[in-house]
Amino acid sequence: MMRTARPTSNVHIRPLQYRDLEIFGRLENAAEEVPIAASMVREEAIDVSRWYGLLNVLRWFPNPLRHALSVQVAEAGSKVCGMIKTSPFNSAGTTWRVDRLAAESTVITTGDEKTTTLLTAMDLGSLLLRNSFETILQARTWILELDVSDETRLPLYRHNGFQPVAQMTYWSIAPEQLEEIAEREPDLPNLLPVSNADAHLLYQLDNMAMPPLVRQVFDRHPQDFKVSLFGSLIQLMTQWMTQTEVVSGYVFEPQRKVAIAHFQVTLSRDGSQAHSVQLAVHPAYTWLYPEVMAQVARITSEFPRQSLQILSADYHPEREAYLERVGAKRIAHTLMMSRSVWHKLRETRSMPSLEGIPLGDVIPGFQPSRKPVPGRILLDPRSDKFRIRQNPVRNQPTAIELDPPKKDQFPQDPDPCC
């Protein structure tokens, strides 16, 4: 007897092991969430089968590759039927990303009842996602990216609480168009190289270039724009292995003391792959798109002729208008989705400590009802005492009167003649 049921305890989720590498490679190829063009904005893909031993050692101490083996597999009986690969999206670890997710429908047999249960790909995918939500406790938000025409995984993510955040479009500029763009002399007088000292400027620019919802989902910090010594060594090794070179720069506004544009170009030295660029422009300086792209085109002219790939979101209308004007071609259209561990995304603010707060700010009843009325000191020769005049309306003191002392009030000096 066969029946369709939801996941049961017969499915075991465990970390990736060496004996799973062959099945992992097959599932990873079937789990391509976004097209190849999306690799220009994600981390470089690492051959897990080739570097498994090294990556297994690196995961035990802090380094940029410690999450390269963050893979969980679903095993039903003795068969691996699903896998999920995750990685942190920001340095604080508050936002994590689903890099890969693949699941195959499988049939399991229950030994006691001698019944056969069919586990669908939807059930196994939901089980893998919820296991990641429960085990990675520091993650407050999850994001992923998939093709808009992927009707297989979209219901799965919708079922597990993911909602669309933005639509992403990948563009390709042909080499002939790059040569035409490079003929223009870029007007960038304050173009500076990028270093770790400029992380705060790039962080401010990144926040200004995104809407509030996307900014809250990404939750980036200045540390995300810094590169450690170990990270720079890994980047140099990756560039040497992939025959690529990275050139970056930003435009500084001296009057406002802010960065108004930033670009990072990944160039292919052997011409085996397309060039790619990551671009950020301040919303108040969208006229910089032709200037920055002219600078990027001049940089690519020094390398083998290849097309240039660039990403734009639906909240970048000026960028998309410029790319259409120069004749760029759309090569992919994806959907970015997010899921919060709360019921909805919300702005959070840490509660201030009660120490150092005046008592009147904590208990409104201790605040004075009105400001005190200032009074005056007057001299009245008709009285020998201090008198306080009362306000007949509010019954408050309005003036203090002071009479001059009498002659016999103070002892007189003796007669100097005596």
From CA 35, how far away is CA 334, in angstroms rounded?
A: 9
From CA 308, how far away is CA 289, in angstroms rounded?
A: 15
The secondary structure element, H or E, covering residue 119 is strand 115-119
H-state helical runs in 103-210: 121-135, 153-159, 175-182, 199-208
The answer to whether residue 273 scores a pLDDT higher than 80 is: yes
Q: Per-domain residue ranges for the chain?
A: 2-161, 167-340, 376-405
- The answer for 356, left when phi > 0, alpha when psi is -120 to 50, beta otherwise, is left
Span 101-126, mean pLDDT?
76
Span 94-102, mean pLDDT?
90
How is residue 131 written in tokens? 């296991």
Beta carbons within 10 angstroms of residue 367's beta carbon:
10
Q: How far is CA 43 from the centre of its chain?
A: 15
Look at the block and give the residue holding tokens 């809250």. 216
Order of all β-strands in the sheet with 329-340: 11-15, 71-76, 79-88, 95-103, 141-147, 329-340, 163-173, 308-313, 275-281, 258-268, 244-253, 191-192
> Who has greater pLDDT, 236 or 349?
236
pLDDT band at 118 (very low <50, low <70, confident <90, very high): confident
Ranking 79-83, 165-169, 188-192 by mean pLDDT, the lowest is 79-83
The burial of 325, by beta-carbon neighbours within 10 Å (0-12 exposed, 13-18 middle, 19 or more buried), is given as exposed
Topology at the third CATH level for domain 2-161: Aminopeptidase (3.40.630)
Mind listing the pLDDT tens digit for each residue in 39-57?
Answer: 434 444 556 666 666 666 7
Ranking 56-70, 227-241, 293-307, 361-375 by mean pLDDT, the lowest is 361-375
Which pLDDT does position 31 carry in this prediction?
A: 59
The answer to whether residue 403 scores a pLDDT higher than 90 is: no
How is residue 257 written in tokens? 């003391």
Q: What is the dihedral of CA 10, 118, 125, 336, to 10 degrees?
A: -170
Look at the block and give the residue holding tokens 């422009």. 281
CATH superfamily name and code, 167-340: Gcn5-related N-acetyltransferase (GNAT) (3.40.630.30)
The percent helix, strand, coil of the chain (3-state, each to 5) is 30, 30, 40
Which residues, listed in sequence order, are joined to residue 246 by a DSSP beta bridge? Answer: 266
Mean pLDDT score of the chain: 78
235 DSSP assignment: H
Which pLDDT does position 204 carry in this prediction?
A: 95
Which pLDDT does position 174 carry in this prediction?
A: 95
Order of all β-strands in the sheet with 106-110: 2-4, 115-119, 106-110
In three-state secondary structure terms, 181 is helix
Q: Which phi and psi angles does 200 have, rounded to 5°?
A: -65, -35
Contacts of 224 (CB under 8 A, 6+ apart): 90, 91, 203
Mind listing the pLDDT tens digit for each residue in 195-250?
Answer: 999 999 999 999 999 999 999 999 999 999 998 888 888 888 888 888 999 999 99
From CA 291, how far away is CA 202, in angstroms rounded?
A: 19
The answer to whether residue 297 scores a pLDDT higher than 80 is: yes
From CA 99, how far away is CA 42, in angstroms rounded?
A: 9
How is residue 2 written in tokens? 């066969």
What pairing do the DSSP bridges indicate for beta strands 71-76 and 244-253? Answer: unpaired
Residue type, 350: S
From CA 211, how far away is CA 208, in angstroms rounded?
A: 8
What pairing do the DSSP bridges indicate for beta strands 397-401 and 387-390? Answer: antiparallel
Of the candidates 139, 143, 107, the residue with the CA atom closest to the CA atom of residue 124: 107
The secondary structure element, H or E, covering residue 329 is strand 329-340
pTM score over 0.85:
no
How is residue 98 written in tokens? 């689903």
Contacts of 193 (CB under 8 A, 6+ apart): 248, 249
Residue type, 176: E
Which pLDDT does position 343 carry in this prediction?
A: 46
CB 187 within 8 A of CB 306: no
Contacts of 205 (CB under 8 A, 6+ apart): 250, 258, 259, 260, 261, 262, 280, 282
167-340 has the same fold as 2-161 = yes
